[in-house]
Each structure stands twice: as structure tokens, then as C-alpha cells.
Structure 1
Amino acid sequence: MFFSYVREDSAVADELISLLEAEGLAVWLDRTSIPVGTRWKRTIETALRDSAVAVMCFSENGESKRSNGQNEELNLASIELRRRRPEDLWLFNVRFDESKIPSYDIGSGDYLGAIQFADFFGADKIKNGQELAKAIARRVDELHQLDTARAARLAAAPAGIDSTATVGALSVRPAESTATLTATQSVESRIHELEDMLSTGGPQPRVDRAVREILRPVFAGLQDIDKFPPAFVPGSDSASRVRQMVEGAETYRDLVDPAVDLFIRGGLWGVDYVPVFRRALEDIAATRVDASKPGSIIQPMRAEYLTGLALFPTTLLMYAATIAALREGNYRMIQTLSCEAQLDVSEQFGGVTSHRPMIVGASPYYSLRTAEITQTLFAHQQGFLTDEMLGAIVSGRLRQGVRFPASRYLRETLRRNFDSAGVSSSEYEKLFDQAEVLFSMITVDIKDSGRVHADPWLGTFAQRTAAFDESNSVWSRYLDECERAGGDWLPLHSGLFGGSPDRAQAAAREVRRLTEDHLMRNR
């Protein structure tokens, strides 16, 4: 169990810890659990992620300090909460006095204060503390029982049987079989070998072959008509079509998971191998169920929405590579994959040869298309989608949908891949926001230059900060940097915005205007 408090409250914190330990609970404290010489932030982040529950203690002592170590723990805890289902009982708020719970954003439109707190002060202090300890102990026991039952089910599952189950509105599958895990380990070993090649400057042909070998099963899967039918089920209603889109998106996501890991490595260490990753991205964007053969019965049946969905793997890979490249300042990779890489859209134009910059066709608002689809996809990801909710989304009866559901889905679905690459959650969230700000700037520039029609997209970065101070937000700082640096802004050196500071600053001003307009409309 993770336990957070400010140093000035050590005495009262120790009282509560004694009650927790009396219930047999193991308490993780930063003052006793971080070995000398280790990176404390990474250690705290790991402890939070691995803890069965977390207890956050608040007081006037904490309120009076503008800067303290608990603020970092609260920020990391709020990030961890956004990764978990809203109904999961994980965080317990405790007040040591009449202080207020800070307004940290915990996702799904909620703030930290929305979680009910317990008071550990006053006449009922000990009674409340004992009740809290018992409640936490019950929750830990529940989690242990769930883990035990899950392990027993997996051990008892007969080999070779498709045990797909239906939960709520969508079908889900259990954990992979041993055979699948063995294949995954093989892919992981290939990715580690590729890391060595990228970091040691291996010959480009060898890197190209290694990339192709990792992507071989991905290419094969993308052409599987059983997994990715190009038409909706005949006679299906609107809810069924949305369900098919969401299930298709999740299947694409699972299929390209090794490719996501691959493109993250490319963004981090592939600065000398940009052409290899461009070819790979263009090939993945062009690979789908074949509907181009003369006389094919698929061609007239192909649904426009499913055609767009076939580009969802490209969306995932462009995001993954861009986020990783931002970490290393590898803007050449971003320029090449988003602007120079071309998407063949001839099929959408009646066979007339036509191409678009990859960033236009790979936008989540093209591959996922509608708010109904993105709201459903995000709700399914978070585990709170039901048939009733799906019906409300499709019919327009949902009272208050989540803002930027496509952005939220992408942020959460890519998080685990960056975690395995050693990028902390807090750094990942900052890089994700920067990537979407940059995508918005690029699409504004493409539209202004008249090359193609492209609507800039806003994402989770365009939300109010907990303190309602946008001057210190990720998007504001990034745009400020562009406007201040002029011709010295690093992305220009790699050819973004044609190397023109005027074009970059014009795009920055427009994205700022769009973001501020959105914030004004959604006060």
C-alpha cells in the first residue's frame, strides 16, 4: 500500500500507519523504501503503479507549502488513476484537518476531490482510522481473491478452445495462450536486437531486414479478411455498425503492438535510419484486404468507414514514432513520417492517382471518423461501456460525453508501450501533448499552404489545468517556444514548415486561437 503525506504531519501519519499495520497491511513510505543512490521519482512511480491501494493524506501544512514532495506524488497518482477504470477502488483520500482536497485532474471529467475522503482528526479520529484500515484491508483481500481466481481459470482453460466471452456491449478475449506468449517473447528478442543495431550504427540494409522481419506477421494480419471484413454485416443497425468499428479498432491495436514498439525505438534511436521507417509506414498504410482486383465483389461492398479504419494502424504508428522522436529532438523523423511519407488515396477518388501527406490520412479523425465511434471506443477501453450506453451514444441521447475521446484513447492505449521502453508516465503525458500540438500546427500549415484540405485537431492538451492557469500548460509553453525562438526553433532545422519561421509562427498563432476559443466555449 502506497502512503503519501507531508513531513510536517509525520506524527499524525505514524498514528494512522499503526492502525493500518494492525490490520496486517504493508505500508510503503518514501522515507524508508527508497534505497540510497536510486532515482527517487522512478521508484515512487513504480511503487504507485504496483500498489494494491494508495492513501493520500491532506492537511493545512500541505496547503501552505507551494512546493513539496507530495505534489509530485499527487501528480503521479492522478496519472495512475487515469489509467485505471473509474469504478476501481484504488485511491483513499484522508484529511488530517479541515483542509481542501487539491483539484488534480483524474480523467473522465473528474478531479481528485470527487473521491470521498475520510477524516482522521477530531473526537472520532481513532474510530474513523480503524474503519478506514478495515475498508482498505477488505479491498486488498478482494484483489487477492480476484488474482487467485483469475490464475485458476487460466490454469484450467483447455488448450485450443476459443473462449471469447461477451461483456457489456463488446466481446473480449482472455489472456494469450502459452504459444502466443512464446511468439511474443521472440518478437521482443528481435526488438532488443534492433535496439543494438540502432544504437551502434548497424548497416542500413541489415536494419531494414530486421524491421521487415518484425513486421512480417503484421503485414499478413492486415490482409486477413476474416479479421477485417471490408463491409458491415448486412442488415446491421447503427449500434451494430459502431460495435463492428470498435471491435475492428481493438483488433488492429492488438495486431500492430509489435510495430508500435518498433516505431518507438525508431523515434528514440533511429535518426540515421529515417528512410527505413518511412518505407515501413507507407507499406503498412497501403496494406489491407485486397479489393482492387478487377471484378472483385469486395470493391463495391467496401464501406467508407471501414476503409478509413484500415488506416488506424498508421495512426498508432505515427503517434508512437512522433512522441518518441520528440523525446530525443529527432524532428527529421517527424518531418519524414508526417509530411514526406505519402498515402495513396486513389481508391477514394475513383482510381485517379492521388496522394496525401501521411498526417492527413492518418489523423484519428479520419481513421476513426465520428464522435459516436470514438466515444464508444474510449468507453470500451475504460471498461464502462454497456448496451444501454452504446444505444445512447448512437442515438445522440448521451447527456455528457467525454471531451476528445480519440485523443484520450490514443494516450492510454500507447502508454504501456512507452512504459516498457523506459519512459515515465509523467514524461510520456507531456510528450503526448506536445505531439498533438505539433500535429495541429502541421495540419494548419498544410491547410494554409493550399496543398490539401486538412482540419487541425485539438486533443487532451486543450483542457483547463487544475489551477485554470493556461500560461503554464504544455501547449502554451510549446507555442511560446516556437514564437520566441524564431529561426532558431529546432523543428525548422529538419524542414518542418518548409524551414520558415513565418509559417511556423502563423501556425502557432492559429493553434493558440483555436485552443483558447475552445477553452472559452467550455468554461
Structure 2
Amino acid sequence: MSPDQEKHVFISYVHEDSTEVDKLCKVLEASKIPYWRDRKSLGPGDAWKAKIREAIRGGSMVFLACFSDRSRAKEKSHMNEELTLAVDEFRKMPPGRTWLIPVRFDGGDVPEWDLGAGRVLGDLNYSDLFGEGYAPEAASLVTTIHNLMGDKQLGPVATLNAVEQAAAADRVELMRRLTKEMLLDPTRRIELDDLVSHEVQRILKVLNDADWATRPIGVNIEEQATRIVTEAQILIQITLPFSASLQVAARWGAPETLAPWANGLRSFVQSATRQKSGTVGLLNLRHLPGVVSVMTAALASVASGRWENLKELVAESSVIDSYSPRPLALLEAVDPYKPFGGDELTSNAVARAAQSDAQPAEVVSDLIQNRTQKFYTPIAELLHTVLRPLFEGEMPDTATYDLEFDRAEVILGVLAQDAVNMRKAVDGSTWGRSHWFGRSTWRMAASRNNPVANLQHDLSQRGAAWGPLRGDLFGGDSERASAAVEEYSALFSEIARHRSW
């Protein structure tokens, strides 16, 4: 690339940082950002100093100065010459112009190069391309560069994919950040809808794969369980970026803006109910994205008192079920027991693996050999573990998270019981009950904190002013809510009594 042919980003670095710069260049390439780098842009026999001077002064729209402990340790380097030229150019620019951008590859300080007018290099906004924040920082850098180069800003999906090229993408933090940036901006509603839809399609591609559940999974119980656990881990990992976005939307969005997440959640559950051939253990796993997403929506909505959002995302949603003559409430179509169909080995193995660094085969073997204790409620333990990082910002202490998780569990349980009651009233059937029971059933015995009793107390004390009723859950009907709470409470107490033995 010739510096006099097109605008470009100039990358200044020491050669000891080539690996990190390679990663940065992949991001720029995927984002269609031209760049100038000595190894790529200097030809044989070039007068390198003249070429670099031309690249910096001629067509450089952005100068990235990359720092690490390796660069800081060098007393002399070609990078220092490049940076001297860059500082000279920067001093000629009007105040407030963004052109010189420091990039850190580690947590060390940006060197205090004198920029004139009492400023030093460390006073400029810099980009941190290391650690868990790599993806969102890279996305922000790409957006900044596109704006500086006068190009139309990349769409969020394109930005997400560009960063993935370099970051083996932990999409979770990036999805959370992009959702926060766009959620409350009406002018970016279409962009956000596209972003969420893109994540939904990534998950549905796996759920709807015709061959996924038909492939051989092993010749014995241990091999089969290991394969199921491995596939469960994959499904959870591809669901978490959507859940990160959902968490933000459920907490901060308005009901009328939640359609992309509500539609996605419903599509996960709908996909899992379709009849397909294959191994039962794998087919059951199709319920995992729905369960993870429902619990995310409930936990975010309940903890922030956004009852109207819980109604929009979960309580009022339904799917078409082949065994039902009419649409089935979402909370009847999916519950924590469906992803593993009651299989204790695989459900416990996934939960144990989530709480440790152990490989699936190791955890499965430990359970078969009785070297590891089983959980009372393995799926609830799994959800509690994998969702914890999504809520560390609003619930930094474990005790608060545990209590809010209990509340979310029982709210889902009561809403599921209400859905059953409404169905019975319509079709005259007598079968069915809520299946949303989890950690709170055994924690009650250990802590003496009964979240269902707390729910009953709040309802009796506040009546029509009770939060869920003000959010129009249970149709805003206090008698309907009381009936659901009482029936769920009886089931909850019975299950908790058995688990306290």
C-alpha cells in the first residue's frame, strides 16, 4: 500500500510486539481499514526513513502508537523516531483534533512524551487492547477510526464480526456494550434490532441443524454423557452473548422496545418443541438457550423492579405446541428440567464443569465413580453459575445475587402456575402444574429464608400496589395472583421438605 494513494492508519510499534500488532491488523483488515506497517508496506531497497516520513506526513489519517513493557524497556528504537515525527505533526494540528491515539498492549503507563502546550501523550484517550476488555476496546477503536476517516460508521454486526477475526470472540462484553450504546437512542433502533437478530440467528442455526442430533455420540454411557455435556457447553456459550444484551434490555429498556429479544426468546423455545429425529439426550439440549434466556430476563427484570418488562419478555409469550390445540404459554413450554430430561448424570456433569476448570470427561468419570457429590437442583446451579458474570455490575456481592436469583426463580414458578391455571380455565383440563423450582427449595431449609413466603407477605400487605400487579402481571388481578401464589407455595413447600431430609 502506497501512502500517497489512499488514507491509512499508521501503526508504530517495536518488533517485539509483532504478535499483538498482527492481531490488531486482522481487526483493521476485517473492518476494511487500510493501514501502513513497516513489515507490510516497505518494499526491498526502499529508503525506509523517507518512506516512513512520507507515510506519517502524507496520507496518515490516524497514528497508532503501540506500547508495552517491551517497548518501554528499549532506550533506542525506530518507534521513537516515528513518534518524534508524529508529535511534530500533531503539534501543527488544531486543538481537539483526534489523530494520535496511544494503544496499550498491557497495563503499563503511556510514556509521557511532550506534546506541547502543557500536554503529554498520556493525556490523550488511549485504547487498551489486552485482557477481557479487548473486544469492546477494539470495537470502539474501529468506530473511532472510521469516523476520523470520514467513512460511514460500520454497523454493529460488522463491527462484531470484525473484532471476532482477532479475538476468538468473547462476544459477551461487546454485545453488552453495543446494546447499552444503542438501546436508548431512537435513531439506532434499526441497528440494534439487526444486531439482536444476528445473535438469534447464530443460535437458531445450531438448534435447527438437521444433522446435529443424529451423529453418533459414543459406545458407552461415559462417552455418551461426555458428548452431551460438551454440546451443552457449546450451546450455553453461543447463548450468553444474546443473554448479555437481553440483560441490558430487560433492565433499561421500555416494553415497546423489547420485541427483538422477546421474539428471539420465543423462537428458541419454539425451535426446541419441534419434532425431530436423533438422540434424545441431544434433542433435549435444544431447550437450553430458552431456559438460559428466560432466567436472564427474569433475574434482570425482578432485580430492577421492571415487572412490565418481565410481562413483555416472558409472561405474555406463547408458542405453538404440536401436542396442544392452542398456543402454549412460554413458561409451560420450557422449564429447567427439559434440557436434560431428568438425567442426573449429564445435568450434574454440566453444572460441575461450569463451576470448575475440569474437562467434561473428567467430571463425568468422577460422577460415575461417585467421587463427586450430586446437586439437588443441578440445572439451577448451572444457571446460577453461568449467569453470574452478567450481573456482577448491578449485584457485586454474592449474597445479593443469591437472594435475587431465589426471587427470580419463585416469580417464574408462580407465573408458570398462573399460566397453568389460565389454561385449565379455558380448556377444562385438570392436569398440569408449575415446574419452575430450583436452588431456593433447598436454600430455604439451610437459610430459613423462604422467598415464596416473602412473596405472599408482600402481596397481602400491598394488594393492588404490589409490584407485579402494577406491572400488569396476572392480568393485574390480585385474586388471580393470590391463587397462583398459594398453589405454587404448596408445591414449593412439599419439594423443599423432601430436600431438607
Q: CA separation in 2, counterparts of 1:345 and 1:284? A: 13
- Match for residue 341 of structure 2? 369
- Match for residue 233 of structure 1? 216
SS at the partner of 1:366? coil
- Match for residue 426 of structure 1? 399
1:492 and 1:499 in contact (8 A); partners too? yes
Q: CA separation in 2, counterparts of 1:420 and 1:230? A: 37
* Counterpart pick for 1:194 among 179, 190, 214: 179
Matched, 1:508 2:480: no
SS at the partner of 1:302? coil
- Match for residue 456 of structure 1? 435
- Match for residue 358 of structure 1? 330
**AA of the residue aligned to 2:454:** R
Q: 1:487: Cα distance to partner?
A: 2.1
1:123-162 pair list within 5 angstroms: none
2:355 and 2:385 in contact (8 A); partners too? no
* Counterpart pick for 1:405 among 378, 394, 400: 378
Q: 1:182: Cα distance to partner?
A: 2.6
Q: Deviations over 1:410-444 (max 9, x none)?
A: 10111012225675433322221111011111222
**AA of the residue aligned to 2:328:** R
2:469 and 2:476 in contact (8 A); partners too? yes
Q: CA separation in 2, counterparts of 1:420 and 1:180? A: 27
Q: 1:203: Cα distance to partner?
A: 6.1
Q: Deviations over 1:296-351 (max 9, x none)?
A: xxx4x3234433311211111111111111122221221233232223333xx4xx
Q: CA separation in 2, counterparts of 1:473 and 1:274? A: 32
Q: CA separation in 1, counterparts of 2:365 and 2:399? A: 35
Change (3 A) 1:209 1:313: same
Gaps of 5+ in 1: 1-150, 152-177, 293-298
- Match for residue 242 of structure 1? 225
Change (3 A) 1:330 1:389: closer
Q: CA separation in 1, counterparts of 2:371 and 2:479? A: 43
1:173-188 pair list within 5 angstroms: 182=167, 184=169, 188=173
Gaps of 5+ in 2: 1-130, 132-162, 425-430
Matched, 1:339 2:324: no
**AA of the residue aligned to 2:254:** V
SS at the partner of 1:449? helix
* Counterpart pick for 2:265 among 281, 302, 313: 281
Identity %: 19
Q: CA separation in 2, counterparts of 1:364 and 1:509? A: 21
Q: CA separation in 2, counterparts of 1:508 and 1:450? A: 16
Q: CA separation in 2, counterparts of 1:382 and 1:247? A: 15
Matched, 1:306 2:244: no
SS at the partner of 2:432? coil
Q: 1:222: Cα distance to partner?
A: 4.1
2:290 and 2:334 in contact (8 A); partners too? yes
**Which stretch has the larger CA shift, 436-445 or 489-498?**
489-498
SS at the partner of 1:367? coil
Change (3 A) 1:218 1:444: closer
Name the structure, 1 or 2, with higher relative contact order (CA <8 Å, separation 6+): 1
Q: CA separation in 1, counterparts of 2:360 and 2:232? A: 18
SS at the partner of 2:319? strand
Report the TM-score, using the length of structure 1 for normalisation.
Answer: 0.55
Change (3 A) 1:365 1:513: same
- What is the root-mean-square deviation in Å for CA atoms of aligned residues? 3.6
Report the TM-score, using the length of structure 2 for normalisation.
Answer: 0.57
